[in-house]
């Protein structure tokens, strides 16, 4: 049976809780002979279970942009017009009740119910959701400060580092699994900004939106998808890196939307033939196929046929490097761009525009 890339839950996935109020991890916890007990006790109060109620019609947006095999699988589970129940995971990131989860957990939701590790349950409000990165921010209101966890720096994590995943697979609350980082910056063709952390920690349906912790109890990823022939874990799971998640969450907390930079070009990879002509060992950069009229790229003098090899000081080796870098650049900010034009390197400065929501 061919492999299938799938989200970790049919409609929504459970969330994960972490550290107690005002407690931040300070020293990395070495994995003791007895396991991860100390770490789990530290962070588990902030991991939450998410239940979502919606309708198949309301969840139509969830199907947009999915691979055909995955979309058909979801459609079979969504008879039109009938109430749908979904489960997911999340984790509290502030004592005021802000919770991070996946977009596909809450997309099209009519009601979102959050249950804490201690059994208390709250109705949640969706503050904002970003389909492009599959990250959402929801909020609950309690009469006391809530336990929360902190983000770590995903860029500092190495392949081979140990990680712990928490969530509610198949509705089994507060499930803990461990493993290592198997790869970084993995592109699974799920969206324009793919740079997933790959892990062999067991992740299943219901883990979506749950946290991936380092040994210091910091969140370094949000568990989002698995590669699986039969729908269960085979040791290939993917998490959105925390460095990206923090940017999205900060943006969503302001006004519920995400603002991205816009360059205004259509791009394709460099071919092997072009690389040989230019005397390169391997293809690199992003080849501009077309420049949108009145776009930032057009105003800066970029042309079809130019090859972008550097953007804002970052080397561009593949297309996703450029899309991610442009998206993270603030609108109206100047960015230094290096292009190859007829074999000559040319420096160009571009004032980045604002990506319209429909273009995302």
Which residues are marked as active site?
Answer: 104, 134, 208
DSSP symbols for 243-285: HHHHHHHHHHHHHS----EE--EEEEEPPHHHHHHTT-SS--S
Cross-strand partners of 139: 98, 125
- Which distant-in-sequence residues (6+ apart) come within 8 Å of 325 by Cβ? 311, 312, 314, 316
Tokens (6 digits) for 241: 């890196």
DSSP structure class, residue 209: T
Cross-strand partners of 86: 52
Assess contact for 59 and 107: CB atoms under 8 A.
yes
Distance in angstroms between the alpha carbons of the first and the last residue of the chain: 33
Q: How far apart are CA 218 and CA 163, in angstroms?
A: 10
Q: How far apart are CA 17 and CA 253, in angstroms?
A: 19
- Which distant-in-sequence residues (6+ apart) come within 8 Å of 68 by Cβ? none
3-state SS class at 315:
strand
Using CA atoms in the order 80, 85, 89, 91, what is the torsion angle rounded to 10 degrees?
100
């Amino acid at each position: 049976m061919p492999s299938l890339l799938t989200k970790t839950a049919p409609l929504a996935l459970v969330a994960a809780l972490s550290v107690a109020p005002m407690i931040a991890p300070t020293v990395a916890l070495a994995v003791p002979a007895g396991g991860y007990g100390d770490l789990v006790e530290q962070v588990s109060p902030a991991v939450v279970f998410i239940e979502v109620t919606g309708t198949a019609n309301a969840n139509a947006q969830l199907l947009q942009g999915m691979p055909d095999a995955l979309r058909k699988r979801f459609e079979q589970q969504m008879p039109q017009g009938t109430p749908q129940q979904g489960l997911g995971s999340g984790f509290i990131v502030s004592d005021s009740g802000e919770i991070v989860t996946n977009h596909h957990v809450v997309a099209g939701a009519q009601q979102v119910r959050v249950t804490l590790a201690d059994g208390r349950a709250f109705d949640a409000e969706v503050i904002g959701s970003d389909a492009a990165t599959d990250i959402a921010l929801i909020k609950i209101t309690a009469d006391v400060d809530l336990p929360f966890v902190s983000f770590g720096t995903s860029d500092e994590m190495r392949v081979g580092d140990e990680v712990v995943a928490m969530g509610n697979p198949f509705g089994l609350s507060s499930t803990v699994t461990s493993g290592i980082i198997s790869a970084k910056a993995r592109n699974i063709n799920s969206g324009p900004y793919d740079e997933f952390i790959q892990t062999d920690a067991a992740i299943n349906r219901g883990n979506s939106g749950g946290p991936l912790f380092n040994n210091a109890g910091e969140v370094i990823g949000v568990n989002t998808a698995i590669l699986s022939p039969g729908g269960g874990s085979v040791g290939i799971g993917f998490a959105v890196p925390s460095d990206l998640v923090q940017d999205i969450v900060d943006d969503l907390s302001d006004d519920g939307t995400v603002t991205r930079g816009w360059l205004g070009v259509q791009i394709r990879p460099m071919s092997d033939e072009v690389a040989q002509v230019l005397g390169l060992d391997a293809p690199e950069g992003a080849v501009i196929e077309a420049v949108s009229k009145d776009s930032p790229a057009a105003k800066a003098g970029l042309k079809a046929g130019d090859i972008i090899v550097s953007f804002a000081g970052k080397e561009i080796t593949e297309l996703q490097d450029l899309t991610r870098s442009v998206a993270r650049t603030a609108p109206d900010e100047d960015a230094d761009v290096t292009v190859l034009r007829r074999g000559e390197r040319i420096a160009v400065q571009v004032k980045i525009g604002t990506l319209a929501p429909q273009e995302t």
